[in-house]
Structure 1
């Protein structure tokens, strides 16, 4: 289904870090990490600008190559590859495997009839009758909320907060010490509890990979330990916890962080879906963006290794009534 209409909203999807897009080359595995590139638009999510040289043959070959094999090798390691599914805390409901998603961070609206999974910002109410995922920016400040954070919890350089180089209205949170991680979790945990009280089923934590933008001041270990605290808070609230992006860290985020599923942006376009599937099995929800698709969306849907839960959205994540609005499912 595809709908385009008129209206306005400010949130965007964006993609942070990772390999350059695949080209028309028959590679035998996950796309090599051959460079990093990020665009610039205001809002939530991640942005990785697609190059003009993407070819259909190459991307489909990469998707097929990245399908989980069930062997001991691969991004998930022996344990993840053997099972293909992350362990889940008792009593936690996972997203319906293969359910059709909608990604509504730019504004809430009535989902299409076929949609069974809806993600919205924590400031919005969940979608009634659908599995609902609550978006939380757990590793950087949200636009307009910098003043709500104690200065000692913001990563500092030369006496000033360090901002995301591509998103200058988001400061990096300093998770470099156990004390700071506990203090960050104490602020974010009420947001998580609020998601549960509102009726959400799960929470997704964005900017797990902020350490890659800290010029060495932050490390993966600190990110994983903060993630563990946030995931624990989610589980205590009865919510499943979703890893947002960071394909290269999926195995450690599952094993040490405790995540239950993955929410990805453009894993098909960037040949990363297999990295997530090796760790989370069918519990992978993918959002592709319409502005620079490597091949027609239908071809991505039909490609071997494509997630069962995939949606095409406009980069701005607009609402029905906006001229830029795009929504299409497999």
Structure 2
């Protein structure tokens, strides 16, 4: 299971590609989707599901888990890289390769980048991921977040932002068709484009306070930002993070491995 990551920085050349990229139009209407409750206390449970605290209103869980009853539930989907132990779900030509070998994310050695470089490949990737999106809806989730939007920055030039932006647009459309709100995951530097062109409704972000990039999301999504900070990367005290007006209202401090309640390493603290 994939846990606790953040976006990699991208250079100015990629920003230029954003401006020049031609992508599919965003969905015409998102009137039927529901956004996370404003200021709702979140919990991020990708490391394993457990009963959320009584004051928790927003819960993120992996697509293989059930949503949290009575809480706004966000379904985690890795839409741009393979999940651990799931590489065999993908045809070999849908994986990015370098010198004939699958390109593995340097930060996550059990994940291979998906090849979004052509319309045909994007359609075939969507064919599988859309079944996961519908599964999230059928299970009772309210929204879906798509991880590794920034995989092109780690593709050694095999992918461009236009490729992932086009795939993200298709994911958002599939989510809206299923009645789910679509969440951008990380990638603060591309938030405006992802919102405007791909049609994302809100953002699920990691460590925006630690890296001083929260405004990159809130300037685009307003209060519809769910932030997860980690105990091993707090440059300030938690009280100061909470007091900072730039910190999103919906924020939780978690242990890096997102352990379950009862584990000696488990931490889940709200402001």
Question: Could you say what secondary structure the match of 2:68 adopts?
Answer: coil
Distance in 2 (alpha carbons) for counterparts of 1:252 and 1:128: 33
* Higher-Rg member (1/2): 1
Question: Could you say what secondary structure the match of 1:171 adopts?
Answer: coil
Question: Could you say what secondary structure the match of 2:120 adopts?
Answer: helix
1:286–1:310 Cα contact (<8 Å) kept: yes
Segments of 5+ residues of structure 2 without an aligned counterpart are 12-27
- Using the TM superposition, give the Cα deviation of residue 16 of structure 1 relative to its aligned residue in structure 2, in angstroms: 3.5
Segments of 5+ residues of structure 1 without an aligned counterpart are 1-9, 20-32, 34-86
Correspondence 1:1-330 to 2 at 5 A: 12-18=3-9, 89-330=30-271
1:88–1:260 Cα contact (<8 Å) kept: no
2:210–2:233 Cα contact (<8 Å) kept: no
Question: Could you say what secondary structure the match of 1:94 adopts?
Answer: coil
Distance in 1 (alpha carbons) for counterparts of 2:93 and 2:232: 39
- Using the TM superposition, give the Cα deviation of residue 11 of structure 1 relative to its aligned residue in structure 2, in angstroms: 5.6
Displaced runs of 4+ in structure 1, greater than 4 A? Answer: none
- Using the TM superposition, give the Cα deviation of residue 166 of structure 1 relative to its aligned residue in structure 2, in angstroms: 1.7
Distance in 2 (alpha carbons) for counterparts of 1:298 and 1:327: 14
TM-score, L = length of structure 1: 0.75
Q: Determine which structure has greater relative contact order: mean sequence separation of CA pairs < 8 Å that are 6+ residues apart, divided by chain length.
A: 1
1:138–1:206 Cα contact (<8 Å) kept: yes
Query: Which whole-Å deviations, capped at 9, do the CAs of 1:19-65 have from their partners, x for residues lacking one?
Result: 9xxxxxxxxxxxxx8xxxxxxxxxxxxxxxxxxxxxxxxxxxxxxxx
Distance in 1 (alpha carbons) for counterparts of 2:170 and 2:233: 36
Aligned residue pairs, count = 257
Query: Which whole-Å deviations, capped at 9, do the CAs of 1:146-189 have from their partners, x for residues lacking one?
Result: 11100111112212211111212100000001111111111100
Give the structure with the larger helix fraction: 2
1:14–1:315 Cα contact (<8 Å) kept: no
Query: Which whole-Å deviations, capped at 9, do the CAs of 1:262-317 have from their partners, x for residues lacking one?
Result: 00000011111101011101101000001131111121011122100000000000
- Using the TM superposition, give the Cα deviation of residue 15 of structure 1 relative to its aligned residue in structure 2, in angstroms: 2.2
- Using the TM superposition, give the Cα deviation of residue 105 of structure 1 relative to its aligned residue in structure 2, in angstroms: 0.2
